[in-house]
Amino acid sequence: MSWFTRFKRVLVGKPIHAKHAHHERLPKVFGLPVFASDALSSVAYASEEILLVLVLASSAALHFLFPVSLWLGVLMIIVAFSYYQTIHAYPKGGGTYLVSTENLGSMAGRTAGAALLIDYVLTVAVSVSSGAAAIASYYAPARPYMVFIAVGAIALITIANLRGAKESGVLFAVPTYTFVALVLGLITTALIGGLSHGHLKPADVTPPPEGFHAVNAFLLLRAFAASCTALTGTEAIADGVQAFRPPEAKNASQTLVMMVVLLLMMFIGVSYVAMHEGIVPIPTEAANYRTVLAQIGQRFFPDWLFLTLQIATAAILFLAANTAFADFPRLCSFVAKDGYLPRQLTSLGDRLVFQNGILLLAGTAIVLVIVYAADTHSLVPLYAMGVFVSFTLSQAGMTAKWYREIARPFRNWKLYVSGFGALVTLIVTGILLLTKFEEGAWLIVVALAVMLGIFALIKRHYLYLAKELSVTPADRLAEVKTTALLLVPRMHRGILQAIAYARSLSTDVRAVHVTLDPDGTGQIKEDWNRFGADMPLVILASPYRSLIEPLIEYIDEALREDPEAVITVIVPQAVPKRWYHGILHNNIAVTLKLALASRKNVVVTNVRYFLK
Amino acid sequence: MSWFTRFKRVLVGKPIHAKHAHHERLPKVFGLPVFASDALSSVAYASEEILLVLVLASSAALHFLFPVSLWLGVLMIIVAFSYYQTIHAYPKGGGTYLVSTENLGSMAGRTAGAALLIDYVLTVAVSVSSGAAAIASYYAPARPYMVFIAVGAIALITIANLRGAKESGVLFAVPTYTFVALVLGLITTALIGGLSHGHLKPADVTPPPEGFHAVNAFLLLRAFAASCTALTGTEAIADGVQAFRPPEAKNASQTLVMMVVLLLMMFIGVSYVAMHEGIVPIPTEAANYRTVLAQIGQRFFPDWLFLTLQIATAAILFLAANTAFADFPRLCSFVAKDGYLPRQLTSLGDRLVFQNGILLLAGTAIVLVIVYAADTHSLVPLYAMGVFVSFTLSQAGMTAKWYREIARPFRNWKLYVSGFGALVTLIVTGILLLTKFEEGAWLIVVALAVMLGIFALIKRHYLYLAKELSVTPADRLAEVKTTALLLVPRMHRGILQAIAYARSLSTDVRAVHVTLDPDGTGQIKEDWNRFGADMPLVILASPYRSLIEPLIEYIDEALREDPEAVITVIVPQAVPKRWYHGILHNNIAVTLKLALASRKNVVVTNVRYFLK
């Protein structure tokens, strides 16, 4: 086992056979937590994002929290209804990339794909940042370390995914159901407690730094846009229909309904309580910093239950980040299969490819977390844009599908459901772009454009290659003559197999020995006469103590002598028993390959011998 | 040209042909600056180091600066005399490693070698730190950036050496002679100026932080030990006799004499003036920080000449660091040749090997500079130990040589010169160890022991290998049967040569195609029938989208079928025209090699095709 393999094993564990790398089919009770952690976890920050906008106006504006939440509830139902249809239309999995490409063409598919890839990065960044906030909300001394906690969470999730940890349903179920139960319990407790007081409590409002704005339509749109992050993750179930037990479509769509009902109850409940209690967001810098959900928890829960709530919140948020790690490389492989990303990404079953995707996602998310100082509120304006672009394209794709496939489409309600969904999500995309443009949505537009540009360049290269390399009727298979050069550093047992191997390759085979000491070649000549068989030994002197230079000169000469022949340079390579002995056994083949990189008709190859 | 080659070219320049990499023979006038910059540059800090010890006692103790400097002068003459003999005894170059190994055996040689390697690292660290101090002494705002300046200087010297910049004599001559002229001029000016005042000036003494010690023998020994750094570099000329014009030994020894005379004049002159002027070292933290030499310069020179002095001081110090960059890899190659360092280091003519040595030296020196905050005074206790260990071994070696080679050794003065040199340097080594032990000399003892341990382990491994791999009369050259497997990702023009090459290697040759999509294999089969000639095509299905797994299974099966055969896997590799297209062309051979690392009888090889 090479040292590289050993190093990898320590870091990422033993290779898992491809057959075990796939989900087993999930019952609904596990399907919900596995696919819904992303959507459900947004309860941890969505209400707060609305309040952060409203608080800019006046404390009276805080009353709009509940109505805005209701609008979002309606949007949620529309989107869910539309995805319900997608699940039944694509029982093999209706990923956005697939649906868009199939029904609206490659350009739409690529746009949806790029938007989703961006969004996976943001899912990771927002979720771990919000998870860090949940921790700091209970344990104040952790506050200066939020970036550290967020980056640490990404690192842990990355390592778990690199190791190929099996995603067990239980791992997802415990925190997800705990979170749901605690939030619903919290809402119930608050409603009873809140009603008993019968009036709004004055909250310890920290006045916003920039002064107050008037409540107007634009402010309400901004508040609405801020809440749209709650919808991210809704598409997850439609992507993964095949992970459910049969009948897949039925089970998946029932899970979708369950998810939306839970999400609505929690989100609207939290918003209602926050409004009723007059809770406003506390800035991160403040001494009594707490998220809105934590403020409610602290007010109505005993300390131990409050602690449990914060732990469950952090846990479900980290799980939400984890789902992006499964989706990102998979989406990359779909895009790569169509030639818009490097072709090697298609073989997702190869760990190295899978791992590269994971590292790319982790690296980008870490950069975002550090740049935005793990501040959920700063990251959210970037979020949701990508999701709604892909929502719109997915629904539009379904609309096009119905229009084409149904005999009299305008008489069918399916067309209207998808069409309405597409229209609404398109409008929301516009609202998001408008209201969040300066806060960061422009960055997503730029990133989208850059990614589409890269996709196009990659595709162009592959198309060019296909043309350039296409076999024409004029092409003939030539005969090739091989000259084998066997490098002999000195005579030893390990070289015997290399000699035999070299002889098996070609009839024109020569041994080459580079000497730094022209007076001391007697030994090698003598040894060679005993074992070299009929192979001639060429001795190259190296007055300036280089092993490479004389070899290259000799190879160049041989290439000039016979420009048609292919020269195979055979380099015996010791494989030491202990990896750290590797530094005592230089592999000259690597250097030689680099030095000969521009020569055609040269093949450099290692024949290994194993040390005991 | 591969992207790696391109990258390297940008960084380290075009490869220089080995023939040009060597010094031309130097006349004495250039030989002095090339070999003496290390020794001469110590004038910049040696007197200061003595004062730093004396100032611990009382201002009265400062009078001992001059006597201590005179002792050092005597030691310098003894050492120089001894090396004068070495030059004539080894006109081909009497490097310490060679002289010790040849006359005292391998263990002494290795000790000297390890001591010198450590010392080269310290030469770099001390010289650049002292150079940074020279700059900060003139330009106070540079003081907070001394670590930055020192590390930057190492980086620049490293790049220059990686690029293989020819060391021109002129480059060394200008700063060296300027420095010598300015220091001698400064001493002269000061003597005239100082005598005109006729009495000691009271200096602005900053009292030492730890209170005063009594002047006693131990303090004087410490002061003497501190000054011993002035001797580092004395051995350089003896190492490089062959770089001089013939008659080499005569020219080299004359240069040695010249160097020692200049060094003595400068060092004792500076010490005398410093004492006479009552100059004491100013701590780095002080607002008016200046080195002792800079204090003298500022006092007696007009500003422009003072500036020139500081520039020349920094320049000669950086040159001194540069000499270690030539010596370090060369000494490594000698040690490696004897089997105590990785064997590949012997081929110093290969840029990659040479560059690795340089990067190792630069990296270690940078760590030292950062850890010791570029503070010359903290680094100096580490310095000199290594030099004196190697001085002692070198002189002892010469003594042993005379004793063996001269007919009646005890009647010959050569034996006494070398013997006396060995004895004196041994005593000084003892003094250094004793007086500087706590300040850092213990670290050198530890480093020396660790290096000797590593040397021994490396040698043991090579000896074991030689035994293990030695060819016995029972060894026979077997016949090897080769099975060639040609990977065919899809049919294109680039693969035609690979087909021809595979056919030339073996009669048992098969094409292998891994498909991620078992339904789409019609095209490849059809294409293959046109060009595959008589080669059978094996199609491997990969249900889990891995390219590697099915291949490995197939190879394992083939190995089981015929355990004697060697399987050669031929992977066609695209060589794109632009290096950054490389990411679009995965080379599966690399992954395959890693995956097959533990299989014997498998050879993986690339056949390249060039894209236009």
> Tens digit of pLDDT for each residue in A440-490?
888 899 999 999 999 999 999 989 888 888 877 777 777 888 889 999 888
Model pLDDT for residues A371-417, shown as the tens digit of each residue: 888 888 888 888 888 888 988 999 899 999 989 888 887 788 888 88
| A59 or B202, higher pLDDT | A59
Spatial separation of the C-alpha atoms in residues A416 and A403, rounded to whole Å: 10
| Partner-chain contact B598 A1, CB within 8 Å | yes
Among residues A430, A462, A494, which one ends one of the domains? A462
**Residue A364 sits in a domain of what CATH number?**
1.20.1740.10
A554 within domain boundaries:
yes
SS3 call for B386 = helix
Nearest to B533 by CA among A466, A478, A567, A469: A478
B505 to chain A: nearest residue by CA?
Answer: A505
Q: Identify whether residues B384 and B488 lie together within a single domain.
A: no
Mean pLDDT for all residues in chain A: 83
What is the pLDDT at residue A14? 47
B473 to chain A: nearest residue by CA?
Answer: A530
Q: Identify whether residues B418 and B500 lie together within a single domain.
A: no
Q: Identify whether residues A425 and A487 lie together within a single domain.
A: no
Q: Find which of B546, B578, B599 to mutate to test the A interface (most A CBs within 10 Å of its CB).
A: B546
A477 within domain boundaries:
no
Structure tokens at A438: 């300066």
- DSSP letter for B449, please: H
Strand order in the sheet with B482-487: A537-541, A508-515, A482-487, A566-575, A602-610, B602-610, B566-575, B482-487, B508-515, B537-541
Alpha-helical segments (H) within B144-229 = 146-162, 169-197, 217-227
What is the pLDDT at residue A120? 92
Query: What ipTM was predicted for this assembly?
Result: 0.76
**Shortest Cα–Cα distance, A85 to chain B (Å):** 29
**Residue B528 sits in a domain of what CATH number?**
3.40.50.620
| A520 or B448, higher pLDDT | B448
What is the pLDDT at residue A200? 46
B529 touches chain A (CB under 8 A): no
Structure tokens at B388: 């004196």
Q: Identify whether residues A548 and A446 lie together within a single domain.
A: no
DSSP string, B233-271: TTTHHHHTGGGBPSSHHHHHHHHHHHHHHHHHHHHHHHH
Read off the pLDDT of each residue in A432-438 and give the average, rounded to a whole number. 85
Cis amide bond preceding B15, omega within 30: no
Cis amide bond preceding B576, omega within 30: no
B477 within domain boundaries:
no
> Number of residue pairs across A and B with CB atoms under 8 Å?
226
| Partner-chain contact A496 B516, CB within 8 Å | no
Q: Identify whether residues B429 and B514 lie together within a single domain.
A: no
What is the pLDDT at residue A230? 84
Model pLDDT for residues A285-294, shown as the tens digit of each residue: 777 888 989 9
Model pLDDT for residues A308-349, shown as the tens digit of each residue: 999 999 999 999 998 888 888 888 988 998 999 988 888 877
Among residues B393, B427, B462, which one ends one of the domains? B462
Closest CB to B533: pick one of A477, A531, A581: A477
Range of the domain at B586: 482-610
What is the pLDDT at residue B20? 39
**Residue A276 in contact with residue A194, Cβ under 8 Å?**
yes
A474 touches chain B (CB under 8 A): no
B476 within domain boundaries:
no
Interface of A with B in 281-300 (CB under 8 A): none
A499 touches chain B (CB under 8 A): yes
The answer, yes or no, to whether residue A161 has pLDDT greater than 60, is: yes
Q: Identify whether residues A95 and A219 lie together within a single domain.
A: yes
| A206 or B486, higher pLDDT | B486
B496 to chain A: nearest residue by CA?
Answer: A477
Among residues A462, A492, A522, which one ends one of the domains? A462
Q: Identify whether residues A259 and A115 lie together within a single domain.
A: yes
B63 within domain boundaries:
yes
**Shortest Cα–Cα distance, A165 to chain B (Å):** 17
| A298 or B10, higher pLDDT | A298
**Residue A535 in contact with residue A502, Cβ under 8 Å?**
yes
Lowest mean pLDDT across A159-168, A452-461, A594-603, B184-193: A159-168
Spatial separation of the C-alpha atoms in residues A388 and B512, rounded to whole Å: 44
Spatial separation of the C-alpha atoms in residues B484 and A603, rounded to whole Å: 15
Q: Identify whether residues A340 and A382 lie together within a single domain.
A: yes
Return the amino acid letter for A481.
K
Mean pLDDT by 10-residue block, N- to C-terminus, for chain B (612 residues)?
Answer: 47 43 67 85 87 77 81 87 85 82 91 92 93 90 88 90 69 89 91 60 46 66 84 82 82 89 90 84 82 89 91 92 87 89 83 83 92 86 86 91 84 85 90 84 91 94 86 77 88 84 87 84 82 82 83 90 88 82 79 84 87 78
Q: Identify whether residues B576 and B447 lie together within a single domain.
A: no
Interface of B with A in 446-465 (CB under 8 A): 458, 461-462, 465
Q: Beta-carbon neighbour count of residue A29 at 10 Å?
A: 12
B527 within domain boundaries:
yes
Give how many domains chain A has, as a whole number.
2
User: Which residues from chain A sit within 8 angstroms of residue B608, using beta carbons?
Assistant: 600, 603
The answer, yes or no, to whether residue A197 has pLDDT greater than 60, is: no
B23 within domain boundaries:
no
A295 within domain boundaries:
yes
The answer, yes or no, to whether residue A114 has pLDDT greater than 70, is: yes
**Shortest Cα–Cα distance, A98 to chain B (Å):** 17
User: Which residues from chain B sit within 8 angstroms of residue A481, using beta carbons?
Assistant: 504
Q: Identify whether residues A296 and A170 lie together within a single domain.
A: yes
Direct distance between the N- and C-terminal alpha carbons of chain B, in angstroms, rounded to an integer: 13
Q: Identify whether residues B489 and B455 lie together within a single domain.
A: no
Q: Identify whether residues A97 and A137 lie together within a single domain.
A: yes
How many Cα atoms sit within 13 Å of A606 on the Cβ side?
A: 23
- DSSP letter for A344, please: G
Residues 6+ away with beta carbon under 8 Å from B241: B87, B90, B91, B92, B93, B94, B248, B249, B252
B560 touches chain A (CB under 8 A): no
- DSSP letter for A577, please: S
Classify residue A387 by burial, with Cβ atoms within 10 Å: 0-12, 13-18, 19+: buried
Spatial separation of the C-alpha atoms in residues B58 and B216, rounded to whole Å: 11
